[in-house]
Structure 1
């Protein structure tokens, strides 16, 4: 079957108009902010009233890019930015007692990526928050295996650069936490959480709430490090208090290592 021929454009491409605007002679009128093309005016786009537009743009940009790259599903890796590479002997090692989880995350990412490569990097693609610690370990494992990974970074008051292992073409930066968390889940076929702090807990309980309430289809939700999680969260206390049902705890699977986690992810029935 022949492919449909592309129809000629009836109207100028927006980029063509930007180029024309750049060549406009400078006059008092053309130098006025009011004369700038609205979609090419950063001062206008960052106004408080334009928040709904910015929210939509943050939803669309990663979604369109991932769709164009043919990425159908991801394995999302949450965990602390403060867990260091065990090989790092520098002075700043805030969560050094948890450093072994860096290597476990790296190994797990390699297992995911090996499968992803067999699908043409369409399924089981590693997705992290793009920062240091466990996020770096996930990106690094994918990179070492020769695959790709998705990085969803966010602008923070303190400087945070993306780790150097994420696939550049799949590295995104967000202003809104809510849109970032939405992108974590839109393609997720599994969620794994390593020990972490407030951010990891926020991300974990977001997905637990969505699955528990039926707003999201059930998927593997794996917690690495049983001792950590049982100390941080008294799951049975929630059941005893009646605030969650006993069956709700079945949404979570505790795993001890990368191989065990991968076995759960790989054997999960396709939805």
Structure 2
């Protein structure tokens, strides 16, 4: 028996109905069997069929069956039609970085709002780091602690950029737009892969004058995903191979202590080398500890801090007038 199967490369096609004809005598015509489109289907596509040959029994002709597949009208976003779409979005991420400048990327929970103590600490930390390193602050441009670091950097009068995703946990789940950042300062990504490219590229140092950092604030699954991915990139020398990039884990109120205990267990089992994890990041329990570490990392003297503080006051005075 021979048959033909319609083939689609679209991963979202479903509810395909297939009906195959019985074997017909040799005198019968070789007409394709068609599938009736269900009423729930809105758009129909016919795809090139691919033939598979099997042994035929005597006095029977191969019967061809054609499958017609349709998309349900349930998906309100554009489908990924080719890798070029991802590539173009990554390109837009890089263009945004080139325009606003590299700096510090903050990873953190989108669920800890202004009433949370970690929100207050993160906002203050972002303001102080922006002043210390005189750089752009980057985040996922979402709510929670990402909003806190955005607010802190704006209070310092420094540039802010972001790579938003269409849907965030927390309060901004229904909008692709930031409530107060200028649209030219952030990009709403369709693809997580493009967003991650952006979040990583903002901390890659091209010359010794670049001052960048990764700051991991308390967070959940999404934050941990980003934390361990960046840690792996540093471990494999995909980031900081020529010019090191400081990676700070903010352990507010011992938030990450149990995670650190687990990583110690990994050392005991031999899944990571002894001292390997501690060499990849700096665990800080307070903002002052993080600021001291960054100042030492970049060799920023007290006079440099004073100059940056003077610039900060000047910016505030000019904006108030």
TM-score over 0.5 for the alignment? yes
Q: 2:291 aligns with which of 258, 262, 265?
A: 262
Structure 1 stretch 242-251 or stretch 197-206: which is displaced more?
242-251
Quote the Cα distance in structure 1 between the aligned partners of 2:220 and 2:239.
24
Partner of 2:256, secondary structure, is helix
Matching residue of 2:256: 229
Shift of 1:211: 0.8
Change (3 A) 1:162 1:243: farther
Are the aligned partners of 2:93 and 2:194 in contact in 1 as well (CA < 8 Å)?
Answer: no
User: What is the DSSP-based 3-state SS (H/G/I as helix, E as strand, rest coil) of the residue aligned with 2:109?
Assistant: coil
State how far apart, in whole Å, the 2-side matches of 1:267 and 1:163 are.
35
2: distance between equivalents of 1:262 and 1:164? 29
- Structure 1 residues 161, 262: closer, same or farther in 2, change over 3 A? farther
- Superimposed CA distance per residue, residues 12-35 of structure 1 (whole angstroms, 9 cap, x where no aligned partner): xxxxxxxxxxxxxxxxxxxxxxxx
Task: Report the equivalent of 1:139.
Answer: 150
Confirm or deny that 1:150 pairs with 2:173.
no
**Aligned-pair distance for 1:148?**
1.8
Structure 1 gaps of 5+ residues are 1-45, 87-98, 118-123
Runs of 4+ in 1 over 6 A off after TM superposition: none
Aligned residue for 1:172, secondary structure, equals strand
* Whole-angstrom distance in 2 between the partners of 1:242 and 1:134: 34
What is the Cα deviation at residue 161 of structure 1? 5.0
In the aligned structure 2, how far is the partner of 1:62 from the partner of 1:182?
A: 8
> Per-residue deviation at 1:176?
1.0
Q: How does 1:6-85 map to 2 (within 5 A)?
A: 46=78, 48-49=80-81, 51-69=82-100, 71=101, 73-85=102-114
Instruction: Judge conservation of contact 1:136–1:165 (CA < 8 Å) in 2.
Output: no
How far apart, CA to CA, are the structure 2 residues paired with 1:240 and 1:269?
33
Query: Within 1, Cα distance between the matches of 2:218 and 2:99?
Result: 33
Q: Provide the C-alpha distance between the structure 2 equivalents of 1:64 and 1:228, rounded to a whole number of angstroms.
A: 35
Structure 1 residues 100-127: Cα deviation after superposition (integer angstroms, max 9, x where no partner): 111111011111222455xxxxxx3110
Give the Å deviation of 1:74: 1.3
1:110 aligned partner: 127
SS in 1 for 2:238: coil
Q: TM-score, length-normalised on structure 1? A: 0.69
**Quick check: 1:151–1:167 contact (8 Å CA) kept in 2?**
no
Count of residue pairs brought into register by the alignment: 205
8 Å contact kept, 2:140–2:163: yes
Distance 1:165 1:225 in 2: 29
Q: Deviations over 1:181-207 (max 9, x none)?
A: 111111212111111100000000001
CA contact (8 A) 2:97 2:202 kept: no
Of structures 1 and 2, the larger Rg is shown by: 2
In terms of fraction of residues, the more helix-rich structure is 1
Cα distance in 1, alignment partners of residues 160 and 280 from structure 2: 26
Deviation at 1:167, TM superposition (A): 4.7
Paired residue for 1:243, among 243, 268, 271? 271
Structure 2: segments with no counterpart, 5+ residues: 1-77, 204-211, 300-321
Q: TM-score, normalised by structure 2?
A: 0.59
